[in-house]
Structure 1
């Protein structure tokens, strides 16, 4: 694939590269601190060619459900739905937009807008969801900050359920002076979902293994693919932070409160970590059908919902 779009911030020289033909994935974000480039995202070397697994790098966009749906099955408004299963043949995974081409509708030096409408861009998947949707994403570079604005529109005639997540792969360390062993993750989470075979049982527990993400944990000591929740923070938004202590640099991912759950995933054999903000947990549509409040959203016909996620790079201020 050669349909790459590169954004450049004229003031700092920061860059971001988006692949519209593979889920509108922003797979490269290079900040510039004191004249030095800082590579923020991790992706396979062949990602730009479009031959890599779509969910294996950059920032896959997960919609209309993040992560898994148990056995690919759910019931909505009295109708049963059966979704295609993942490569293990167990569950549906990651939604309908991360592995298909998007349409670019606007772009400039430091921004680009992509759109994905289910009936237009994946008509073969229309029968898999209760109605049609339009997802619009704006990527914008603001100095050393990458902002994603999301606009979700119900373009059908019936209410539709939805959940949104992103799956960013953050590269560590943040400089040649940094070390993997000196990188710290800080999250405002206080509880986690009990999982059985990667699926929530509905039970929420205290965080296991004496992990204290609010005080910070060294990334090199973690082996996780878990859903954390019950965020504790003040103000209108919250931060999820990666700190390279030796380099004196940090990456901060900032979200509004609609993102109520965070998946932390440590890919095996890679110097990276995924910190995934979700508006609802894995299998939320089935958890809700069991009477649990899991954050599943419902959008009325012609209604819109707007939200955003920021990723910024800066020096650590002692």
Structure 2
């Protein structure tokens, strides 16, 4: 019997892609019809990613598409009033967080196309999905750029990898802002000690909606994160915005001291920023890697500082993140 398996199964009326690794007792499940969300990942008997109560709730409940699993975001977080400008062009995004803001983009809720999946000893269990703006005239109406997203999830030797490629197939440079929003289920209510370790360089002052209010500085919190900070008292609905140290190992760790294991989340260098967020709707915590700070195109700071940038015609941007447990 092969160690790895990848296939399509039906759950609650949805087609779900399942990846398994029998030797590490690992399973990952992805729902292409709702944002290509990898909504479940379990490894060695531990639940690593927070799943929704039901798959139908991802479609039925407002905002649920980016409240569970690993939503894919373009642009990540909020755009104030849904408006910004880039290279002389004005953009007006839909206000999907009434009354004032655009939140997290639309690729996290729309259907993706499965390009292929498979399993072997060499490649592990994998699935590749694509999303093309050209197939969505409602998006092209306010963001007229031919972007294509190709995401490959790969489960190999107990580790889950996301290998991403974003390509501009158009003739004009497009604003570029991409992020991920994984939810890690944590036992906040049990009084267990939870320690967060992040290679942080600085902290940005932000509002409770993650809007930037000033330049980043080295704070006591960002310095302590490098060694490890207990977060069991991190405020519900609280958030922090960090600049990452690009010279250090880019692995973040959430240590469950009383449970004897650690969640390790390795980030590619295309993500210089990380949002920390504790949701009020679940006992969970999110480490959100971003290519830019919230609403960067509207900030009065140099783009080198905020990560505001474009993706040129014909350009491909690639990355790879990894997720696993350590015992």
Return the TM-score normalized by structure 1. Answer: 0.88
Answer yes or no: is 1:115 the counterpart of 2:135.
no
**In structure 2, how many angstroms separate the alpha carbons of the residues matched to 1:49 and 1:5?**
18
Which of 26, 30, 50 does residue 42 from structure 1 map onto?
50
1:180/1:271 contact within 8 Å kept? no
2:147/2:169 contact within 8 Å kept? yes
Deviation at 1:60, TM superposition (A): 0.3
Which of 181, 192, 196 does residue 167 from structure 1 map onto?
181
SS of match in other structure, 2:51:
coil
Note closer, same or farther for the CA distance 1:144–1:91 as it changes in structure 2 (3 Å cut). Answer: same
1:239 is matched with: 251
SS of match in other structure, 1:301:
coil
1:225 is matched with: 239
Task: Quote the RMSD (CA, aligned, Å).
Answer: 2.2
Deviation at 1:206, TM superposition (A): 3.5
Answer yes or no: is 1:138 the counterpart of 2:152.
yes
**In structure 1, how many angstroms separate the alpha carbons of the residues matched to 2:93 and 2:32?**
24
Give per-residue Cα distances to partners, 1:113-162, cap 9 Å, x unaligned.
Answer: 00000111x22110222511000000000122110011011111111121
Which of 174, 191, 195 does residue 184 from structure 1 map onto?
195
2:24/2:157 contact within 8 Å kept? yes
Answer yes or no: is 1:82 the counterpart of 2:92.
yes
Give per-residue Cα distances to partners, 1:241-281, cap 9 Å, x unaligned.
Answer: 01111121011000122211100000125221001111111
| Displacement over 4 Å in runs of 4+ | 208-211
Answer yes or no: is 1:305 the counterpart of 2:313.
no
1:4/1:48 contact within 8 Å kept? no
**In structure 1, how many angstroms separate the alpha carbons of the residues matched to 2:38 and 2:197?**
23
Equivalenced residue count is: 303
Answer yes or no: is 1:128 the counterpart of 2:142.
yes
1:14 is matched with: 26
Gaps of 5+ in 2: 1-12, 120-124
Note closer, same or farther for the CA distance 1:192–1:88 as it changes in structure 2 (3 Å cut). Answer: farther
Note closer, same or farther for the CA distance 1:310–1:29 as it changes in structure 2 (3 Å cut). Answer: same
Gaps of 5+ in 1: none
Return the TM-score normalized by structure 2. Answer: 0.86
Give per-residue Cα distances to partners, 1:193-249, cap 9 Å, x unaligned.
Answer: 122453113422343668721222222111221211142653xx4111011111210
**In structure 2, how many angstroms separate the alpha carbons of the residues matched to 1:314 and 1:255?**
16
2:192/2:257 contact within 8 Å kept? no
